[in-house]
A and B are shown apart, each in its own frame.
Chain A
């Protein structure tokens, strides 16, 4: 198991050092500094073995977190733990910076004592931890017996991510479907690869211990219902809008065995914001933009580039933060750009023409043309023509995912599903969205 955990600043000075195992000595702290932080070369692996001691590290801004061990630990677990540790610290004091760490070092030691015992990760849900570890130090001593047992049963319990007795005057929940759409397209407009990786992020402000059920237009579920339902017509019509999900993963609050057997997503949510699920789709993706490049070499010293972008969604919707990045050869000496919409600039330092458009409605098109002057070179090497990339944000889910319902049941308190105010928002963003030219 994890033998020790160190936090360093960018200079390699140790800010936190907690040793859990006898086989890890003080010299381990220095070994990591010398061999990794102060190493002249770029880090070639997040796992380093120095003198039969293994170091796992992650970096957050300029802070290094390193877990140390001499055993054959579960490596995936160590990294998951380090990420979790970062999440917990962020939830307590915001950004992970040298100053914040120094200001909260007592808190961090307390947390490390609680969430890692003899190197074994223990409950690390902020919701639970905050019931007895606070920034002001441990909660004031005189807790009632009930309070104490409530804390311990939450920390060890089946629903470790939520405490009892939460009360809101207004029961409200927000669902964000956040998707990033990735594309690699050939110059001829052929899709080489495309996939959507999506997340459903939930903010829940619900009283008590609500039981939730989340439903979306998952093809498997819809098809099943279509079969079960008497009318074939209904099945077909709804089947059209369903999407095939390649794979999904869930927050630990979701009952996985129920998903496995019935494909229903039921859970008791943590309080506040968390990521309910992640998913990936590759079929029938709506590609919000199509990029049509045209590059012509005029002699040896000139390039003519024309790029057309077409928006491919409902005219009533607006895409935002559109940016098209057209790479230019290294020997570019000057660029003249004309664009119909937005602003375009040649950025010599980035070897690219950057074309920005604030907003664009669906089913529209726009165009940019540029003349690129080239310096004559002896370099025989042909310009590799990197792909044209695009960034944007659209108010729908390119995968076609729709939230069908999120039902809330709380039997003990007197509010029902109807009383809960629910908000759903869809945001599609470009991931790596490239067209070769």
Chain B
């Protein structure tokens, strides 16, 4: 019978309903209101009945009253004038002896977004916030948040925020929980004022309420706790100790929020602390238990575990089995489990993992099967010992002839070839058999790559490639760029006639290369391919840190920062993990606190999971990190044009480099190869290197100390080589001859690459400039400071000794640009203790200029992103001895301050030297830089 309430046609009903609403009989009235609500539910417009429904409001029947309220909440906004009619009843109800009615009134009033009503709400709300009954108080607490949403100013003016803060000390745990929830929400739109005012005392109150309130209240409190930054490791530990019991709660959200607090506060604990280990152990079981929850929650849990595994792989490394896919799991659970399985795969469990993956590859769901095949490939790359077994498994799968399985297998085999060159070519024949079935761009591209790469082993490689050429116009860019490269790769000189300008130009560039300088062409096209990274889909470190602060929330499900999907001011505030602060040094350095906790930001997007194939291949950055070309001086404009058009003679590029006024980087390099390398390195801004940093010449050996011989000099890096540029001056009375030079053992094994060439005797008052090439093959001994060099110079008169210091940047090698994905993996891999942070003040270059400048000294920008008003540069440096250093440079465009984080596996003293170097490279004073030198142990 009630089904009739959901009846569809409206017009006929409105009149009837009107009559019924005005009926004298209570029952009839009530039925009529029910019908109105039902109509409202299905989306019918029953606003015309507003006065009639409001007339039913004054009743002692609570059920009827609630229905009328429901109607009011829906339509008041569209009928503000009539809504006023309800005010009196609300105000009266707020005084009712029954606490349930008082609460109902204040709850509903807050939901009516009409200014005139809001005015009347203030007095009742003030009373209700101090009501004797906790049920009324907990409702009033939420009402403050409602009112704030309507009129924030009013809430502040009326002092409700203070009353709300007082409620945090309420005797009733549910009142506390709701007050916390309301304050947390309000403070989101006031990021600057510390509304919650979290301090050890208030934290203690929250922790007490945590034990007593409902499961939902526990979530509010835990989420709020997660925003607190403990003063030191001791406070951090004591909070952790009181939060861990929550890990046994039946409510998964309570568990996940507790995990969030623990993951965050753990950052502050020293790793050698016993408790740290205990805590790590305690985290695994509850995370595993989440996987026995309902599938939707499993999904949320798995997305979070994915983050946790990236941040702290040690927690779940022994729990591989629980991520094995069950036949009846929903597809979204299966896909997520597979992802985590790959991350946890290691030599210890690889056999089991492979057996499972093989099973999955025979399942029904196409996406899942593809991912499983891909996973087999990842295993091969990650665990070398398993590579052979993976390849044979993939071959078995190719034999199934299932189209998408074959294509996926070929894509991953290509990666395996890249990782282990010249090892598995025996399978190429099998791959070639399946050429015809390839209809997906990625698979075709992979196959073309394989054919081109192993052309000499495939008899009919030309034919095969040509068969791909036939469909040239229909192919996607991915395939065509691949074809283009590979066709050139085979030195077949037919220039493809394509409509894609980008492609065509690249074709021309190659073509011209081929016709002018085959050697250079070979260097470009057959350039060494960077290593395949072992980890897949790694989340950028800064983003990962932010997401860890959002465990359990939507951000952790989407793997995106909140501002990527939340509108307005809410959630724009970025969160960061706290830095470790020992109890001894608590709040002594406000500057340090500010630079770590205060500076907050995050990149908005995740670096794409699949490295661009061609980009990898040619070490070209096809999608330059900065979309906008920075302002270029006129003389350089030509160079840019050249690149864009790509039609002019390539030789001109060298000239363009010269006119740009950068002798060291390009002009000084006679070899074509080096220039081309720069030409194609579009990634770092304008591709024109400004030349490496060269300190001015300094007097190393004064004439007084060397019987009239004065030596001044400097160091420079040119054309990939290290040079010591010396000026020798004869201040003595006699001619000097027979010069020779020797170095003492030093930190990086610097040694002269040849004899000191002073061909003619040095006459009186004559100065001669000599450039001495150096190598790093000499004996090694750690020096203090690290970049100290002790030199002995001999001439016909005597032997003289002096010491000098070279800039560390001398040792930055040209191939120091790390692959993005390798960068991500390495960054993550380097323990955070090896990180040093450094703030550079008064720095006036913008990020593009900085990037270009730094690139001149072989500090390479791997990626750049812009968030809010900040630019983030991710940079890599490789030293001559193979040590890598990674840096994150954060540039605020508003204030001339830079914030740099540097990670390297090497010792602290190296970091320190690097910092000094950075300070110089960044063009700010050495000493000023040191003034703000902040190193976290």
For residue B249, which residues in chain A have a CB less than 8 angstroms away from its CB? Answer: 249-250, 252, 256
For residue B326, which residues in chain A have a CB less than 8 angstroms away from its CB? Answer: 432
Give the contacts of A74-124 with B (CB-CB under 8 A): 74-77, 79-83, 99, 102-103, 105-106, 109-110, 113, 117-118, 120-124
A54 close to B135 (CB less than 8 A) = no
B558's partner among A13, A23, A49, A149 (CB-CB below 8 A) is A49
What's the nearest-Cβ distance from chain B to residue A302, in Å? Answer: 23
Chain B: which residue is nearest A98 at the CB level? B3
A121 close to B216 (CB less than 8 A) = yes
For residue A428, which residues in chain B have a CB less than 8 angstroms away from its CB? Answer: none
A70 close to B216 (CB less than 8 A) = no
B558 close to A380 (CB less than 8 A) = no
B219 close to A77 (CB less than 8 A) = yes
A246's partner among B69, B146, B242, B285 (CB-CB below 8 A) is B285
For residue A432, which residues in chain B have a CB less than 8 angstroms away from its CB? Answer: 326-327
B99's partner among A14, A149, A259 (CB-CB below 8 A) is A149
What is the CA–CA distance of A156 and B110 in the complex, to the nearest angstrom? 20
A71 close to B571 (CB less than 8 A) = yes
What is the CA–CA distance of A381 and B210 in the complex, to the nearest angstrom? 58
On whether A26 and B556 interact (CB within 8 A), knowing A148-B99, A149-B99, A197-B292, the answer reads no
B331 close to A105 (CB less than 8 A) = no
B120 at the interface (CB under 8 A from A): no
Chain A: which residue is nearest B556 at the CB level? A75
A45 close to B174 (CB less than 8 A) = no
B565 at the interface (CB under 8 A from A): yes
What is the CA–CA distance of A43 and B251 in the complex, to the nearest angstrom? 25
A312 at the interface (CB under 8 A from B): no
What is the CA–CA distance of A76 and B134 in the complex, to the nearest angstrom? 27
A14's partner among B2, B43, B69, B220 (CB-CB below 8 A) is B43
Selecting from A137-145, A335-343, A360-368, the interface stretch reads: A137-145
A47 close to B299 (CB less than 8 A) = yes
B747 at the interface (CB under 8 A from A): no
What's the nearest-Cβ distance from chain A to residue B27, in Å? Answer: 12
For residue A125, which residues in chain B have a CB less than 8 angstroms away from its CB? Answer: 214
A357 at the interface (CB under 8 A from B): no
On whether A56 and B138 interact (CB within 8 A), knowing A74-B253, A123-B214, A259-B245, the answer reads no
A70 close to B296 (CB less than 8 A) = no
What's the nearest-Cβ distance from chain A to residue B35, in Å? Answer: 11
Contact with A along B139-158 (1 / 0, CB 8 A): 10011011001000000000
B100 at the interface (CB under 8 A from A): yes
A380 close to B401 (CB less than 8 A) = yes
A152 close to B134 (CB less than 8 A) = yes
A26 close to B288 (CB less than 8 A) = no
What is the CA–CA distance of A85 and B602 in the complex, to the nearest angstrom? 36
Count how many chain A residues have C-beta atoms less than 8 Å from C-beta atoms of the other chain.
96
For residue A49, which residues in chain B have a CB less than 8 angstroms away from its CB? Answer: 558, 565
B257 at the interface (CB under 8 A from A): yes
B285 close to A45 (CB less than 8 A) = no
A152 close to B135 (CB less than 8 A) = yes
B216 close to A120 (CB less than 8 A) = yes
What is the CA–CA distance of A388 and B300 in the complex, to the nearest angstrom? 31
For residue B567, which residues in chain A have a CB less than 8 angstroms away from its CB? Answer: 23, 52, 70
What is the CA–CA distance of A277 and B67 in the complex, to the nearest angstrom? 38
A297 at the interface (CB under 8 A from B): no
Chain B: which residue is nearest A159 at the CB level? B212
For residue B589, which residues in chain A have a CB less than 8 angstroms away from its CB? Answer: none
Selecting from B489-497, B546-554, B710-718, B728-736, the interface stretch reads: B546-554
A15 close to B34 (CB less than 8 A) = no
Give the contacts of A36-83 with B (CB-CB under 8 A): 42-47, 49, 52, 54, 56-58, 69-77, 79-83
On whether A247 and B288 interact (CB within 8 A), knowing A79-B300, A117-B142, A252-B214, the answer reads yes
Give the contacts of A148-168 with B (CB-CB under 8 A): 148-149, 151-153, 155-158, 160
What is the CA–CA distance of A396 and B135 in the complex, to the nearest angstrom? 45
B737 at the interface (CB under 8 A from A): no
For residue A275, which residues in chain B have a CB less than 8 angstroms away from its CB? Answer: 250
A29 at the interface (CB under 8 A from B): yes
A1 at the interface (CB under 8 A from B): yes
B245 close to A77 (CB less than 8 A) = no
For residue A429, which residues in chain B have a CB less than 8 angstroms away from its CB? Answer: none
B248 close to A249 (CB less than 8 A) = yes
Q: What is the interface residue range for chain B against chain A?
A: 35 or more
A251 at the interface (CB under 8 A from B): yes
B578 at the interface (CB under 8 A from A): no
On whether A138 and B63 interact (CB within 8 A), knowing A45-B299, A105-B38, A160-B214, the answer reads yes
Interface SS majority for chain B: helix
For residue A69, which residues in chain B have a CB less than 8 angstroms away from its CB? Answer: 554
A22 at the interface (CB under 8 A from B): yes
For residue B213, which residues in chain A have a CB less than 8 angstroms away from its CB? Answer: 158
Interface SS majority for chain A: mixed
B362 close to A384 (CB less than 8 A) = yes
B331 close to A44 (CB less than 8 A) = yes
For residue A233, which residues in chain B have a CB less than 8 angstroms away from its CB? Answer: none
B255 at the interface (CB under 8 A from A): yes
For residue B34, which residues in chain A have a CB less than 8 angstroms away from its CB? Answer: 106
A260 close to B245 (CB less than 8 A) = yes
What's the nearest-Cβ distance from chain B to residue A8, in Å? Answer: 11
Chain B: which residue is nearest A132 at the CB level? B100
Give the contacts of A405-432 with B (CB-CB under 8 A): 432
Chain B: which residue is nearest A265 at the CB level? B248
On whether A260 and B296 interact (CB within 8 A), knowing A52-B567, A123-B214, the answer reads no
A257 close to B285 (CB less than 8 A) = no
B553's partner among A16, A44, A75 (CB-CB below 8 A) is A75
A47 close to B289 (CB less than 8 A) = no
B37 close to A105 (CB less than 8 A) = yes
Give the contacts of B288-303 with A (CB-CB under 8 A): 288-289, 292, 294-297, 299-301
For residue B255, which residues in chain A have a CB less than 8 angstroms away from its CB? Answer: 249
A76 close to B301 (CB less than 8 A) = yes
For residue A43, which residues in chain B have a CB less than 8 angstroms away from its CB? Answer: 330, 332
For residue B327, which residues in chain A have a CB less than 8 angstroms away from its CB? Answer: 432
Chain B: which residue is nearest A56 at the CB level? B296
What is the CA–CA distance of A23 and B324 in the complex, to the nearest angstrom? 40
What is the CA–CA distance of A316 and B359 in the complex, to the nearest angstrom? 39
The residue among B37, B67, B100, B556 with the most chain A CB atoms within 10 A of its own CB is B100
What is the CA–CA distance of A45 and B110 in the complex, to the nearest angstrom? 34
B332 close to A45 (CB less than 8 A) = yes
A105 close to B2 (CB less than 8 A) = yes
What is the CA–CA distance of A19 and B113 in the complex, to the nearest angstrom? 13
On whether A249 and B286 interact (CB within 8 A), knowing A49-B565, A151-B100, A256-B249, the answer reads yes
What is the CA–CA distance of A99 and B255 in the complex, to the nearest angstrom? 36
B566 at the interface (CB under 8 A from A): yes
What is the CA–CA distance of A141 and B97 in the complex, to the nearest angstrom? 12
What's the nearest-Cβ distance from chain A to residue B261, in Å? Answer: 13
A278 at the interface (CB under 8 A from B): yes
A280 at the interface (CB under 8 A from B): yes
For residue A15, which residues in chain B have a CB less than 8 angstroms away from its CB? Answer: 6, 41
For residue B297, which residues in chain A have a CB less than 8 angstroms away from its CB? Answer: 76, 79-80, 83
What's the nearest-Cβ distance from chain B to residue A55, in Å? Answer: 11
Closest 3 CB pairs of A and B: A247-B285, A152-B135, A260-B245
**What are 19 A-B residue pairs whose CB atoms fall within 8 Å in the complex?**
A22-B113, A43-B330, A46-B295, A74-B219, A75-B556, A76-B253, A79-B300, A103-B2, A105-B38, A106-B67, A118-B142, A122-B214, A148-B98, A152-B100, A152-B103, A156-B175, A157-B174, A197-B292, A250-B249
Query: Which residue numbers of B lie inside 8 Å of A, CB to CB?
Result: 2-3, 5-6, 34, 37-38, 41-43, 60-63, 66-67, 69-70, 74, 97-100, 103, 107, 110-111, 113, 133-136, 138-139, 142-143, 145-146, 149, 172-175, 178, 181, 185, 211-216, 219-220, 223, 242, 244-246, 248-253, 255-257, 285-286, 288-289, 292, 294-297, 299-301, 321, 324, 326-327, 330-332, 352, 359, 362, 399-401, 550, 552-558, 562, 565-567, 570-571
> Other than the known A72-B566, A249-B249, what 10 A-B pairs have Cβ atoms closer than 8 Å?
A70-B567, A72-B562, A72-B570, A110-B66, A132-B100, A152-B100, A160-B174, A249-B286, A252-B249, A257-B242
